[in-house]
Amino acid sequence: MSDKVARAALTYLAEPGDPWLAALVGEYGAPRTVAAIRDGRFPAGAHVPDAATRAMKRWRLRLAELPPADDLAALAARGYQLICPGDPRWPAGLADLGDAQPYALWARGAVTDLAAVTRRSVAIVGSRAATAYGSYVAAEIAASVAARGWTVISGGAYGIDGCAHRGTLSVSGVTVAVMACGVDRPYPAGHRDLLDAVATRGAVISEWPPGRPVARLRFLVRNRVIAALASGTLVVEAGQRSGALNTARHASDLGRPLMAVPGPVTSDLSAGCHSLIRQWGGTLVTNADEVIERLSAGSPGGRDAEAPGRGPVPGAIPAATSPRNLRGRADLARDALDLEAATVLDALPAKGAGLPTAQVAVRAGLEPKVVLAKLALLRVYDLAERTDGGWRARRG
């Protein structure tokens, strides 16, 4: 098995950022790692703690979903490219993620040399429920930086993401959409045409293989890639609990320039941006000139060599006080879940007859006995319910 085919297989078998899988691949290579998963045995001499043994069981649950090698090769004929570490097209900035670096990236689009197009790039992210002000600023800045040869990276979502992509396309610039699902899955569905347009001028990329559906936790996992790909990150509009702040945190942790656009002090959707400026040491910017100036001030590798006086990023974002941002009962229950319970919740269908426990386990990549325990917990929290067909997320 070639390294490329093996890495393609790993995107099917494990969720991105799995530390035990990263350790195996780093020590034994992707082909031996896939062979070990198929055999159900770690390579001879490998140090195997209990957590690694449990991880092996998770990976093996998805072996039935792994396409044959010939089918993986055929995906290229359908326009899906696989870019792997070591490939000249692999973006150098992803190495800064360490063990959390993607195993590989699936891509579709006119641009496959991600190393070249991300060398001078900016991530523009923000709220899905953007205001007219935020939408205008995101599109205008994206168009202006793209017209000067900078690549715009975002997540393809409604709101600020979509405006950033559209602004770039309006000047025939290059833009990259980083997805939390397979590159063949238009998400959100209303952005099918937009994502197709992104592919014609740039690329739609993902750590997940074609066919993999979106899940809540995958957005947070995806955000580290957006931050690592870009030379710096700009947040245009973000509430106090916005997922865009998760991307900002990754950018800060990676030492990349972090910027934010100010907004009205009365706007909930600017509160997160103001926190980035006041507490996180983010640079206040209002136009493309200031964005490019800030990005150019960083070190050649994209790391922020300056940032004088920047203190540690606060461990928690201040609690929202506006009714729009107050957390309801379901939000509080979700916040109390551990990672395994949240993963099981993500694996549950939101409608229909539900799924048997065994299928939920495959979707979640967890052992059935763990899934059973977490389903019981979700039922206590009123987040899941049992139906005649199995389990599903509780409506309402």
pLDDT tens for 94-107 read 999 998 999 999 99
- Same-domain check for residues 124 and 195: yes
pLDDT for the residue numbered 323? 41
Phi, psi (5° rounding) for residue 360?
-60, -40
Structure token pair of residue 244: 């865009």
- Same-domain check for residues 253 and 152: yes
- Same-domain check for residues 177 and 279: yes
Across 232-258, b (16+ Cβ under 10 Å) vs e yields bbbbbbbbbbbbbbbbbbbbbebbbbb
C-alpha–C-alpha distance, residues 282 and 377, integer Å: 39
Per the structure, the complete domain to which residue 347 belongs is given by 329-393
Say if 307 falls within a structural domain.
no
Tell me if 234 sits within 8 A of 294, measured CB to CB. Answer: no
The amino acid present at 70, given as its one-letter code, is: D
- Same-domain check for residues 281 and 142: yes
Structural domain count, the chain: 3
Beta pairing partners, 120: none
Is the pLDDT assigned to residue 342 strictly greater than 50?
yes
| Model pLDDT for residues 242-277, shown as the tens digit of each residue | 889 999 999 999 999 999 999 999 898 999 999 999
Residue 333 banded pLDDT, cuts 50, 70, 90: low
- Same-domain check for residues 344 and 256: no
C-alpha–C-alpha distance, residues 208 and 178, integer Å: 10
Pairing of strands 105-108, 203-206: antiparallel
Residue 326 banded pLDDT, cuts 50, 70, 90: very low
- Same-domain check for residues 177 and 49: no
Say if 20 falls within a structural domain.
yes
- Same-domain check for residues 188 and 253: yes
Closest CA to 3 of 59, 90, 84: 84
Angle in degrees, 0-180, between the axes of helices 339-347 and 357-364, rounded to the nearest 10 = 120
- Same-domain check for residues 210 and 281: yes
Say if 201 falls within a structural domain.
yes
pLDDT for the residue numbered 329? 58
Q: Of 251, 273, 297, which marks where a domain is finished?
A: 297
Say if 22 falls within a structural domain.
yes
Least confident piece of the model among 1-10, 180-189, 336-345: 336-345
Say if 45 falls within a structural domain.
yes
Say if 323 falls within a structural domain.
no
Say if 261 falls within a structural domain.
yes
Say if 37 falls within a structural domain.
yes
- Same-domain check for residues 37 and 179: no
| Model pLDDT for residues 123-165, shown as the tens digit of each residue | 999 999 999 999 999 999 999 999 999 999 999 999 999 999 9
CATH value at residue 366: 1.10.10.10
pLDDT for the residue numbered 328? 57
